[in-house]
Amino acid sequence: MKPLDFPEQYRNSITTRHSHFNFNGWNELSYSFTFPNHRNNDNQFCYNILKTENDFYIEVSYFIGVDHIPETGKTIYVSPKYNDGEKETDYLKMLFEALGNADVVQYTDELFLVKWDEPVISIEQKQDHLTPLLIVVFLNLLKTIVKKGVKRSYYRVENNLNSMIKGKILIAKNIKKNHVQNKFLNVYCSYEEYGINHPENRLLKKALNFVKRYLDSVPNLKNHEFTGRIYNFVNPAFENVSDEVQISEIKALKNNSFYKEYDQALRLAKMIIKRFGYNISSMEKKMIETPPFWIDMSKLFELYVLAQLKQKYGNDLSFQYPGKGTFVDFLVHSDDEKIIIDTKYKVGWTKGDYDMHDIRQLSGYSRDLTILKKLYPDIKVGAYPVVDCHIIYPNMLANEELEKNPSESIKGFYKFTKQPIKLPQIN
């Protein structure tokens, strides 16, 4: 199916976009899809289509992607445009910046959702925001694996040995490959070896070959400092690993909690191979078929800000700190500073206004005893001071570097400040 031809280009926006349109034959009162939030139970919609008296009303949120609209035969595509501007948000640059911090890797699974079990959708290569994201995250995981050391393990090998027996003789194959051909000195055996050429690494190598072909077809990504450098770093570590792995072996591979990076990398490797349908030539087409997917731009914004805050605060910064039934974006808990920081991927803060819901949310965090005990471990309950609350939001008139953007007080609220940061853009 081709993306739905709406009257105007629907785009991702940090303000929710609205428009009215009419489609004959639509009988449902509403259509929508909600992106699950696994940490805080505040699931957000990717799109809403509501029926009014004479037409339909659409709104999109903080997600980019392509999806089916149920029971209509139509699809919706949301592009990474910032607000109402003509430039696209450079979500890959945001991802590169975020992955510069090793702590980000464990949160990348929360960035996207892929509906592998639903029918594919035809889109142009340039509309494929899923594949570059999968590849960048996959390469970054391989970098972590190679730095720690590629995993070694026992794996089973079948080989036709000359004048020796090792392990178990495979009688049927020995007869077929040796006795029938009068090779009586050969014995076809199955035995175990220890090394790096086990099925898990072979799966990673197969996906890495897909990555190489994809990078060759996208020069901007191949020549990018981030992807090019990482590929050149990880590729030699898999030089002696075969890429021969059966689909049945891929499906049978189980997660291993001891090797967390392997767990994530194997999942992504399966996605990359499945994405190209096990056919490496499919990535060279101008029109491609993709499963429906959504990418959470608000989560990506969090990780983008995390990388910059980590440079400033280091180990004195905690990310996604668990409070009473929720997770706080950032906690600064140095000897000199105690701050609750939240990111808000919306323009309400840019205009000089404020969202009372956001104020109340941070105020609640500042009264959470779990959080206060983290900030002030040596102070007794009842003697806690008022905590500084800080909101970081996108503003295209600001600098991309957080340090260069001054904070300002939020009028009418004590110890509440806000600070803008510019999102990178593609011309």
| pLDDT tens track for 21-36 | 555 556 565 778 888 7
Nearest Cα to 416, choosing from 345, 328, 355? 355
Decide: helix, strand or coil at residue 330. Answer: strand
* 400 secondary structure, DSSP code: S
DSSP state string for 95-163: HHHHHTSGGGGGGGGGGEEE-TTSPPEEEEGGG--HHHHHHHHHHHHHHHHHHH----EEEEEEEEEES
Tell me which of 8-22, 68-82, 101-115 is least confident: 8-22
> How many other C-beta atoms can be found within 10 angstroms of the C-beta atom of residue 392?
27
Question: What is the pTM (predicted TM-score) of this model?
Answer: 0.82
Alpha helices by DSSP H, 185-259: 199-217, 219-222, 225-234, 247-252
Q: Report the pLDDT value the prediction gives residue 22, as an integer from 0 to 100.
A: 53
Residue 376 has pLDDT above 90, yes or no: yes
| Residue 280: band (very low, low, confident or very high) from pLDDT cuts 50, 70, 90 | low
Taking phi first (over 0 means left), then psi (-120 to 50 degrees means alpha), and beta for anything else, what does residue 151 get?
Answer: beta
Residue 102 phi/psi, 5-degree rounding, is -60, -25
Q: Report the pLDDT value the prediction gives residue 48, as an integer from 0 to 100.
A: 85
Q: Report the pLDDT value the prediction gives residue 202, as an integer from 0 to 100.
A: 92
Q: Report the pLDDT value the prediction gives residue 297, as an integer from 0 to 100.
A: 92
Q: Report the pLDDT value the prediction gives residue 286, as an integer from 0 to 100.
A: 73
| Residue 292: band (very low, low, confident or very high) from pLDDT cuts 50, 70, 90 | very high
Residue 375 has pLDDT above 90, yes or no: yes
Q: Report the pLDDT value the prediction gives residue 14, as an integer from 0 to 100.
A: 39
Mean predicted confidence (pLDDT) in 303-308 = 93
Cβ 394 vs Cβ 345: under 8 Å: yes
Exposed e or buried b for every residue in 105-141, given b needs 16+ CB within 10 A?
bebbebbbbbbeeeeebebeeebbbbbbbbbbbbbbb
Residue type, 277: G
Residue 408 has pLDDT above 60, yes or no: yes
Which token pair is 127?
A: 């509309």
Percent of the chain past pLDDT 90, that is, above it, reads: 41
Percent of the chain past pLDDT 70, that is, above it, reads: 83
Average pLDDT over all residues of the chain:
83
Q: How far apart are CA 105 and CA 270, in angstroms?
A: 18
Q: Which residue has the higher pLDDT, 375 or 224?
A: 375
Q: Report the pLDDT value the prediction gives residue 16, as an integer from 0 to 100.
A: 40
